[in-house]
């Protein structure tokens, strides 16, 4: 397998770092990143723990979660190849506001806060990219508040599937296997409701299942059902 991911040869061209790759003579940032390999279900960021820089998914997938009051997790977003995780802990001596867990065997690149800060000061386009990302994320989270307040359970589950299709929907089945609990954490409801909604959606021929794999049958019909909520879904 790839022994150590190098930014120079990396093919994740929507990764902020790769996209703004700029070898600097005085300090080779790229050689100072660490590589972390996670097995499926392995947690690599724990909410409330001290920040240890930020991560980029090199290969694989991860979920980013936040714990609610009653100890229930909410999936905030997913990150796949080339995407950042842990960027919000990017302040002074802070703790991470989220947890992150690998959904598959995943390889991560990790930049220390110190190194990444230097990079931001050296490469303006990298800073700009990150800023845009923060802004977008804020928009999405505001849209989500509205959504959670107004959608029915069925709509929330459908919305979750539309999102999953966008992130993991290459081919017949979703490119990821999530437990019912995880889908509930994503949709913002309970496991039981997800189970019931899934079987209803199967009966309606909107989605299909093969073992643990789930697939979308009629994306347009699903979108139509949540068309009234035309915000940005997650």
Partner DNA sequence: GCATTAATTGGTC
Partner DNA sequence: GACCAATTAATGC
b vs e for 36-75, b when ≥16 Cβ sit within 10 Å of the residue's Cβ? eebeeeeebbebeeebbbbbbbbbbbbbbbeeeeeeebbb
Q: What is the DSSP letter of 51?
A: P
Which residue from 137, 84, 77, 78 is spatially nearest to 104, judged by alpha carbons?
78
Which residue from 111, 100, 9 is spatially nearest to 56, judged by alpha carbons?
111
Q: What is the DSSP letter of 95?
A: B
Instruction: Kindly state whether residue 167 participates in binding DNA, applying the rule CB under 7 A.
Output: no
Instruction: Kindly state whether residue 43 participates in binding DNA, applying the rule CB under 7 A.
Output: no
Interface map 51-80 toward DNA (x if CB under 7 A): -------------------x----------
- Cα–Cα distances (Å) from 169 to 16, 49, 99, 228, in that order, read 23, 33, 24, 23
Instruction: Kindly state whether residue 193 participates in binding DNA, applying the rule CB under 7 A.
Output: yes
In whole angstroms, what is the distance from residue 226 CA to residue 1 CA? 42
Instruction: Kindly state whether residue 9 participates in binding DNA, applying the rule CB under 7 A.
Output: no
Instruction: Kindly state whether residue 181 participates in binding DNA, applying the rule CB under 7 A.
Output: yes
Nearest approach in angstroms of CB 76 to DNA is 18
Nearest CB to DNA, comparing residues 109 and 183: 183
Nearest CB to DNA, comparing residues 123 and 207: 207
Instruction: Kindly state whether residue 208 participates in binding DNA, applying the rule CB under 7 A.
Output: no
Among 36, 120, 143, 153, binds DNA (CB under 7 A): 153
Among 50, 117, 179, 213, binds DNA (CB under 7 A): 179
The footprint of DNA (CB under 7 A) covers: 70, 152-154, 179-181, 189-193, 195-196, 198-199, 211-212
């Amino acid at each position: 397998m790839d022994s150590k991911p190098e930014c120079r040869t990396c093919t994740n061209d929507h990764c902020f770092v790769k996209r703004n790759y700029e070898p600097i003579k005085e300090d080779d940032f790229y050689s100072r990143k660490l590589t972390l390999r996670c097995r499926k279900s392995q947690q690599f960021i724990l909410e409330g723990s001290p920040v240890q820089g930020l991560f980029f998914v090199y290969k694989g997938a991860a979920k980013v979660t936040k714990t609610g009051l009653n100890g229930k997790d909410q999936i905030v977003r997913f990150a796949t190849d080339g995407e950042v995780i842990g960027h919000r802990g990017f302040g002074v001596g802070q703790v991470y506001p989220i947890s992150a867990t690998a959904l598959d065997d995943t390889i991560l690149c990790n930049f220390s806060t110190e190194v990444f800060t230097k990079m931001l000061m050296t490469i303006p386009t990298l800073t700009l990219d990150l800023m845009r990302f923060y802004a977008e994320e804020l928009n999405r989270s505001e849209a989500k508040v509205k959504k959670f307040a107004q959608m029915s359970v069925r709509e929330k589950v459908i919305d979750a599937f539309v999102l999953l299709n966008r992130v993991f929907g290459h081919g017949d089945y979703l490119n990821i296997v999530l437990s019912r609990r995880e889908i509930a954490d994503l949709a913002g409801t309970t496991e039981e409701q997800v189970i019931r909604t899934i079987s209803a959606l199967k009966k309606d021929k909107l989605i299909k299942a093969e073992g643990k794999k789930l697939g979308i049958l009629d994306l347009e019909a699903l979108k139509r059902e949540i068309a009234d909520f035309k915000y940005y879904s997650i």
